[in-house]
Amino acid sequence: MPFKDECGVFGVCDSQDAANLAYLGLYALQHRGQESAGIATLEDGRIHVEREMGYVADVFDEARLARLPGRTAIGHVRYSTAGASLLINAQPIVFATGRGPLALAHNGNLVNARQIRSQLERSGAVFTTTSDSELILHLIARSRASNLQAAIAEALLDVRGAYSLLILSVEGIFAVRDPNGIRPLSLGVREGAPVAASESCAFDLIGAKFERDVEPGEIVKLSREGFSTHRFAFPTYTPCIFEHVYFARPDSLVFGKSVAATREAFGARLAREHPAIADVVVPVPDSGMYAALGYARESGIPFALGLVRNHYVGRTFIEPKQAIRHFGVKVKLNPVREVVEGKRVVLVDDSIVRGTTSRKIVRMLRDAGAREVHVRISSPPTMASCHYGIDTPTRRELIAATQSVSEIRDFVEADSLGYLSSEGMLEAFGRPQQATCTACFTGIYPVEVPEEEREKEHALDAR
């Protein structure tokens, strides 16, 4: 899947094992960002931080976790969507302010970051990172509000876009979600200690109980006393539907819904919209798994694992120079000849981006003896870029931005191709268009994207 996940955040307040719990929480959220990992803890009014490029398990060992004392911690895993992929941009970002030290972990992307940055630079601000997340700390530091919570609220009035934040302070952790609630952020409790995480799968790993989501436009303070809440903006809730299509883990509750159940519902609806006369339903693992289950259940066609995924392909894997046909995909996926030979196969995946991977998989199934391959996609054609924190390719790279469904079918060499409709996706998700972000499928952006940001995309398209 060529989409890159955005970021994941985790926080725990007033717990003896704060750094260890943050490590485990980040481990569960690794799918949300694989470039860098970091943890900040608070002890006696001082913030300690450890950050590094790499996977959570590679960045942290016992010695490093021991350098993170204190009963309160926040953590972050990152894939860069704004700001270069550099260690200086790894989070949490730590900042000394008149209100004491702060550390920030941000999931999302601000659409007016460039304007705010140049305003702040004109008034003398000096930045230590190139990421948009640092802007929020600058705005908080400059606020003259009477207390930290009010300063956070004031700072956020200036920023637009997607942000699920954890801010570590001497008062506790502030968990914040933008008024559109584009990215997820949930609250839980572990042995009386309040916790927060991008997805509930992090709670499962540490034995915490899910409580609720941070509401759009809400600041929740996590402290020794538990949760206290403050509303800083009127909510206009438009959560990112792609979290349910692809990004989030299927065992998570995201936006109050089971991701696995939503994906199955997408698949069932897809079967009704695009039936196929076939012998077997095969998912592209792992992304098409639950949609394929839904498709099989609804259509009555047997489900079978006709492709096997190698889960141990790390970043250190070196592709040999010599040209081996379909090499890149074959490293990750291999067909099970016994399942597909002589069969009419329905191949289910969550999306098609450039089309090249889908074509390789179709060819792979035919090479393994599949008689027909009917491709079914559990979301509508992806035709626009995301400006809210997902690293989508530019429009020019998205095959559906320039080609019709029949042209894509020919390109991927399928016998037939069917995408889930926008209406079908929203119905299965259980929210109307105006209350959901579907921009990468529809081009309808719920938070206005400034012209210069769109121009940036067009400039990339024109390259």
> Which residues make up the interface to ligand SF4 (CB under 6 A)?
182, 240-242, 386, 388, 390, 437-440
Q: Which is nearer to ligand SF4, 93 or 111 (by Cβ)?
A: 111
Q: Which is nearer to ligand SF4, 241 or 282 (by Cβ)?
A: 241
Q: Which is nearer to ligand SF4, 368 or 384 (by Cβ)?
A: 384
Torsion, Cα 81 53 187 216, to 10 degrees, reads -20
Q: Which is nearer to ligand SF4, 26 or 386 (by Cβ)?
A: 386
Residue 386 bears catalytic tag: no
Distance CA 393, CA 81 (A): 11
Minimum Å gap between C-beta 395 and ligand SF4 is 12
Minimum Å gap between C-beta 454 and ligand SF4 is 13
Distance CA 434, CA 420 (A): 19
Are 379 and 266 in contact by the 8 Å Cβ rule? The answer is yes
Are 398 and 369 in contact by the 8 Å Cβ rule? The answer is no
Structure tokens at 440: 């990468």
Minimum Å gap between C-beta 451 and ligand SF4 is 17
Q: How far is CA 413 from the centre of its chain?
A: 30
Q: Which is nearer to ligand SF4, 164 or 358 (by Cβ)?
A: 164
Query: What's the sign of the alpha-carbon dihedral 73, 77, 83, 88?
Result: positive
Minimum Å gap between C-beta 240 and ligand SF4 is 3
Distance CA 259, CA 244 (A): 5
Catalytic entry in 7, 13, 386, 437: 7
C-alpha closest to that of 382 among 356, 361, 411, 402: 402
Q: Which is nearer to ligand SF4, 108 or 285 (by Cβ)?
A: 108
Distance CA 367, CA 384 (A): 33
Q: Which residues, 6 or more positions from 116, have their beta carbon under 8 angstroms from its beta carbon?
A: 110, 135, 139, 158, 159
Distance CA 60, CA 37 (A): 9
Minimum Å gap between C-beta 118 and ligand SF4 is 25
Minimum Å gap between C-beta 249 and ligand SF4 is 16
What angle in degrees, to the nearest 10, is found between the helix axes of 289-299 and 259-273? 50
Minimum Å gap between C-beta 269 and ligand SF4 is 18
Minimum Å gap between C-beta 79 and ligand SF4 is 13
Are 168 and 42 in contact by the 8 Å Cβ rule? The answer is yes
Q: Which is nearer to ligand SF4, 240 or 307 (by Cβ)?
A: 240
Q: Which is nearer to ligand SF4, 110 or 241 (by Cβ)?
A: 241
Task: Report CA-CA distances (Å) from 365 to 300, 352, 357, 371.
Answer: 21, 17, 12, 9
C-alpha closest to that of 412 among 461, 365, 344: 365
Structure tokens at 435: 């209350």
What 321-328 contacts at long range (C-beta under 8 Å, 24+ apart), as own/partner pairs, is 326/360, 326/363, 326/364, 328/360
Are 252 and 210 in contact by the 8 Å Cβ rule? The answer is no
Active site residues: 7
